[in-house]
Chains A and B, each alone.
Chain A
Amino acid sequence: MKALLLRDIRLAVRAGGGFGLGLAFFLIVVVLVPFGVGPQSELLSRIAAGILWIGALLACLVSLDRIFALDWEDGSLDLLATAPLPMEAVAAIKGLAHWVTTGLPLVLAAPVLGVLLSLPAQGYGPLVLSLLLGTPGLSMIGAFGAALTVGLRRGGLLLSLLVLPLYVPTLIFGAEMARRGVDGQDYTTPMLMLAGITCGTIALLPFASAAVLRVNLR
């Protein structure tokens, strides 16, 4: 399992692996917003938490189709299916590798981009915490969507259509937690809901992804 995780991270970081693309996409989306909304810092600071969350969500989406598609094309997935590793572990590790290479950099970059959007000072902690709790869930849901569409040509768009509705609960509670943090309110309830959703996806979706992969490999 460790070998698979390290290989996936190594592949992502090497040339052509796409590491940093999600991050760059996040950066551009967030930078574009002030141009679209105009230089009104009090409006920007009001919507900053929501923009950062939507930006992170879209950046996460961009790299999802690579989770299984590359291994499918070069036959690695067939070989992994006959390896001693259970398919559930493969699905979970793939989700984890996606989070390490996409979700975690987004969490770390969010405070920097918060400055661009005049995020109030008390909002940084809750924003980073909400992204840290929410993005693993996004990766796991995304891995499930990627498993569903793995054999399809041009499956990327279908993947987005399938995955985006599933992202709604995470987005609602994540953005709510960040917004309450910005307003200086108590954010315990949305934080617990967000953590619960993420834990649920980590516990259940690897099994669903593995089942779908087995069907797709036939």
Chain B
Amino acid sequence: MRLTVRDLCVARGGVRVLDGLSFAVAAGEALVLRGPNGAGKTTLLRTLAGLQPPVSGTVDYPADSVVYAGHADGIKPALSVVENLSFWAQVFGRKEISHALAAYELESLADRPAGFLSAGQKRRLGLARLLVTGRAIWILDEPTVSLDARAVAMFAAVVRAHLAEGGIAVLATHIDLGLDEATVLDVAPFRAVRQELDDFDEAFL
């Protein structure tokens, strides 16, 4: 299990944002992306997750090993916490969700409609989803938004346990999670120099 990025260039809305990125993350390692707003962290993460193709360069990892968690949690307000989690577990061909509920202390909220949860509770539910997928590479975009200090500690513990099992985490975050094994990558120096794309059509896609 290894995530390898070679000479990657990513673009958003027809403008190159990051160029010449190369890094590798091995099993049990975490990579924390830093950079100012608009530096291209989200674009890079979406490219890593396969949601958009890179302009040039390659992203390599074993097929079907990635799970992505973006700014939105993908929670249906009309479904209960358990229904939301079981749905994602089933999509990924699994059943077990109790460990995910326990990791984020969601047991007492299990039967509540997700629409009644607070922002932090929703975020915890969104992060619990990662645990039910059983995927090894976690790609997380600002995972700690709206979490309180206790929930951040829960999240850090879950990430640490995931890494200990040989998982990989790539996350964009501004707060210090206290992950000693994490490498920090500042994306600002990789800002693309020549920003316009040659491909005219690409600007419309």
Contact = CB atoms under 8 A, between A and B. Distances in A.
Interface of A: 2-4, 7, 10-11, 14-17, 71, 73-76, 78-85, 215, 217-218
Contacts of A10: 78-79, 83
B87 interface: yes
Most buried by A among B66, B90, B91: B91
Interface in B72-94: 72-79, 83, 86-88, 90-93
B51 A81 contact: yes
A82 B91 CA distance: 11
Given A11-B79, A73-B72, A84 B52 contact: no
A16 B90 CA distance: 24
A13 to B, nearest CB: 9
Contact of A75 (B50, B64, B73): B73
Contacts of B68: 78-79, 82
The B contact surface, by secondary structure, is loop
A8 to B, nearest CB: 10
Given A7-B79, A16-B78, A85 B91 contact: yes
Interface pairs A-B: 4 shortest CB-CB: A75-B72, A3-B90, A76-B74, A14-B78
Given A75-B70, A215-B205, A218-B205, A82 B49 contact: yes
B52 A217 contact: yes
B71 interface: yes
A17 B76 CA distance: 11
Contacts of A17: 78
B67 interface: yes
Contacts of B129: 79
A17 B113 CA distance: 14
- Interface residues of B toward A: which range? 20 to 34
A200 B116 CA distance: 43
A14 B87 CA distance: 16
A81 B67 CA distance: 10
A84 B72 contact: no
Contacts of B50: 81-82
B51 A78 contact: yes
Contacts of B72: 73-75, 78
B15 to A, nearest CB: 13
Contacts of A7: 76, 79, 83, 87
Given A74-B73, A78-B74, A218 B91 contact: no
19 contacts: A3-B90, A4-B91, A7-B79, A10-B78, A10-B79, A11-B76, A11-B79, A75-B71, A76-B74, A78-B70, A79-B67, A79-B69, A79-B74, A81-B50, A81-B51, A83-B91, A84-B93, A217-B51, A218-B46
Contacts of B70: 75, 78-79
Most buried by A among B66, B83, B86: B83
A84 B87 contact: no
Nearest to A82: B68
Contacts of A215: 205
A73 B70 CA distance: 12
B201 to A, nearest CB: 11
Contacts of B51: 78, 81-82, 217-218
